[in-house]
Chain A
Amino acid sequence: MHSLYARVNNVSATMSSCLMALLAAIALSTFLFTADPKGDLAITNVKVTAGRDRRYRNKSQDYALVNFNVSADLTPLFNWNTKQLFLYLEAEYENAKGGKNDVVIWDRIVRRKEDAFINVVGKNKYAFKDITNTFKKVPAAHYALKYNVMPYVGALTYGEAGRTLESLEFPAAE
Chain B
Amino acid sequence: MLNFASVITSGLMMWKTLGAITNTASPIVVVLSGSMEPAFYRGDLLFLSNPSAEEAKYGTGDIVVYNVPGAAIPIVHRVLETRETGSKNRAQREQKLLTKGDNNPVDDIDLYNGLQWLERKHVVGVVRGFLPYVGYVTIAMNDFPQLKYALLGGLGLLALIQRE
Which A residues have a C-beta under 8 Å from some C-beta of B? 23, 27, 55, 83-84, 86, 88, 90, 95, 97-104, 107, 109, 111, 126, 131, 146, 148, 150-156, 158
Contact = CB atoms under 8 A, between A and B. Distances in A.
A158 B127 CA distance: 12
B84 A100 contact: yes
Given A126-B107, A152-B132, A86 B61 contact: yes
Contacts of A103: 60, 80-81
A23 B60 contact: no
A59 to B, nearest CB: 12
Interface in B28-55: 38-39
Contacts of B82: 100-102
A152 to B, nearest CB: 7
A84 B39 contact: yes
12 contacts: A27-B129, A88-B60, A90-B60, A90-B61, A98-B90, A99-B84, A100-B82, A102-B81, A109-B38, A111-B38, A146-B60, A158-B59
Contacts of A102: 59-60, 81-82
B84 A148 contact: no
B84 A101 contact: yes
B65 interface: no
B12 to A, nearest CB: 22
Interface of B: 38-39, 57, 59-61, 63, 78, 80-86, 88, 90, 93, 96, 100, 102, 107, 109, 127-132
Contacts of A151: 130
B88 A104 contact: no
B54 to A, nearest CB: 16
A158 B61 contact: yes
B80 A23 contact: no
A154 B39 CA distance: 13
Nearest to A23: B131
A104 B130 contact: no
Nearest to A148: B61
Contact of A156 (B63, B80, B86, B96): B63
A150 B130 contact: yes
Contacts of A158: 59, 61
B38 A84 contact: yes
Contacts of A27: 129
B38 A156 contact: no
